[in-house]
Amino acid sequence: MKIVEDKISVTELKQIAESGFGDFVKGVVDIEKEIMVIDAELHSDEEGLLLQNGSQQKDLWGINIYPFNEIDKMIEFDSMINIRPRQGNRSRDVEDIEVRNRIILIIEKLVNYE
């Protein structure tokens, strides 16, 4: 697992994808700290690493990054950790458009699209 606080290249994401799931990389984004963890088999493992490093549960959202896709089709908002009825999120998707937009902005900041 890798905590991304600065830029990561699409090339590196592609390499991680190819060595793991083939076409995507799982990630968990902390929308408050504007960081993410990538490169694990489970979103829950990435979530755990961020929690150990001081993140708060309410700020963590699971995504999948498809580095071989066009930029606007690179992020998939799908993870079991996103099911949070107390926060009004009842599905694996990220239902709140404001949260989705924050995630997109963070990914745009962290990923060097070359």
pLDDT in tens, 41-96: 999 999 999 999 999 999 999 999 999 999 889 999 999 999 999 999 999 999 99
Residue 74 DSSP code: S
**Residue-level pLDDT at 113:** 82
Which pTM value belongs to this model? 0.96
Q: Are strands 2-4 and 35-38 parallel, antiparallel or unpaired?
A: antiparallel
| Mean pLDDT of the region 88-112 | 97
Using 50, 70 and 90 to split pLDDT, how confident is the model at 3?
A: very high
Locate tokens 């990538």: which residue? 38
Q: Range of 40's domain?
A: 2-112
For residue 62, list its beta bridge partners: 28
Number of structural domains (the chain) is: 1
| Mean pLDDT of the region 12-35 | 98
The Cα–Cα gap between 10 and 91 comes to: 28
**Percentage of the chain exceeding pLDDT 70:** 99
**Residue-level pLDDT at 71:** 85
pLDDT above 90 (res 101)? yes
pLDDT above 80 (res 30)? yes
The Cα–Cα gap between 106 and 90 comes to: 23
